[in-house]
Amino acid sequence: MPDHHNLPSLSGPPRCVLVKPSQRSRRGQEVARAVLAFFILAIAFYTIHGFLPALAWGCVFAVATWPLYTRARMAWPKAAKGILLPFLFTAAMALIFVIPMMLITLEAVGEAQSALAWLEKARQSGVPVPEAISRLPFGSQTLTSWWQAHLANPEDVSGLTGALDSKGMALTKAVGSQIAHRGTLFCFSIVTLFFLYKDGVSVIRQCRVASRRAFGKRGETIARQIVASIHGTVQGLVLVGMAEGLLMGIVYFLCGAPHPALFGVITGVAAMIPFCAMVAVGLVSLLILAQGASIAGIATFCIGAVIIFVADHFVRPVLIGGSTKLPFLWVLLGILGGAETWGLLGLFVGPAAMAALDLLWRRWTAGNERSQAPLPPS
């Protein structure tokens, strides 16, 4: 007979029995959460993929100027609590890019009007052979013959310009759409920069927590290496490029180059990419030679070559690779490879990636050297 003392009581309230999930069930939940998180991340990135370059530029600007902004926050704590200080820093960063672009645009509009007037005159009376061609040390006869055959006759000029009109319209539309697209991305980068200034302390704290949870302490070390690389890249590329443009602008003015301020800005922008400034210097030197000032043109080219050589081989390696202990070869590969792959953004992404890779390599090889027994003497 059954033992009534061991049977459960039917008169009392029912008891809740807690069943612990099995290990297989927990693993299934973890996999499901990981898949859901990856799906949400993929959808989010796909939604904003068109604005990812703008977000990246905003982050680069914020990282590059954060030490200066931190000093300003400490000097004016009341302004840092609201939106005044972030707004002032964002406006200053915008003006750094807007003012040179306005100067270039104004110069380009003036030059375009002069070019249209010259083109209309060329259609009516042709283009005479410039006197500078006859003063060239070699090739003057060949250039003179070609010029007389293709540009001296007004009919030839009209046919040439008529063929270029249709292509010019398509090129103008393409350039206009690109300017509108780049302008939109720039505005969004400035907006991103404002919010990074405003909420930067909270963003840094969240990034540190996420890095430690995902990668441990080494993740924060790699992040610091990337930040140091961006700081060095800004100093080595942007600041050195601006200094080269300023110096060459003074040289252009002293040597009598046309539009020295405009060409100084162009040289500074080109100098942000290693070895590209010589293209601008060579172009200005040719313009000075075309004016008949041979000594000034040669002096401009030689001075520019010396300034660019010193900047690219001595100043930039110290500024870019000094803070991250990155060899100059990796700095150069990161800059050129990044520019080829990512465009202007690659000037900062490339060195940062190479700095992180170099840090991982040094840590990995140092660990192997410590764990490996010394080789016996031969």
Burial 177-202 (b: 16+ CB within 10 A, else e): eeeeeeeebbebbbebbbebbbebee
What pLDDT is stored for residue 34 in this prediction? 83
Burial (0-12, 13-18, 19+ Cβ within 10 Å), 163: exposed
Could you report the per-residue pLDDT of 265-286, keeping only the tens digit for each? 888 888 887 778 888 898 888 8
Could you report the per-residue pLDDT of 35-76, keeping only the tens digit for each? 888 899 899 888 888 888 888 888 888 888 888 888 888 888
Contacts of 355 (CB under 8 A, 6+ apart): 225, 226, 228, 229, 324, 326, 330, 334
What pLDDT is stored for residue 317 in this prediction? 74
Residue 267 exposure: Cα atoms within 13 Å on the Cβ side: 30
What pLDDT is stored for residue 303 in this prediction? 92
State whether residue 292 is helix, strand or coil. coil
Are the beta carbons of 230 and 64 closer than 8 angstroms?
A: yes
Could you report the per-residue pLDDT of 287-315, keeping only the tens digit for each? 888 777 778 888 899 999 999 888 877 88
Give the C-alpha separation, 233 to 316, whole Å.
8
pLDDT reading at 152 higher than 80? no
| Measured CA distances, 239 to 272, 307, 312, 319 (Å) | 8, 14, 13, 10
Distance of CA 319 to the CA centre of its chain: 17
Hey, CA dihedral for 298, 300, 305, 306, is it positive or negative? Answer: positive
Element (H, E) at 212: helix 200-215
pLDDT reading at 160 higher than 80? no
State whether residue 189 is helix, strand or coil. helix
CB count within 10 Å of CB 175 equals: 10
Q: What percent of the chain has pLDDT over 70?
A: 72
State whether residue 48 is helix, strand or coil. coil
Residue 172 exposure: Cα atoms within 13 Å on the Cβ side: 6
Instruction: Note the pTM of the prediction, 2 decimals.
Output: 0.64
Q: Measured in Å, how far apart are the chain's first and last C-alpha atoms?
A: 89
| Mean pLDDT value across the chain | 76
Q: What percent of the chain has pLDDT over 90?
A: 4
Quickly state the pLDDT bin for 378 (edges 50, 70, 90).
very low
What pLDDT is stored for residue 43 in this prediction? 92
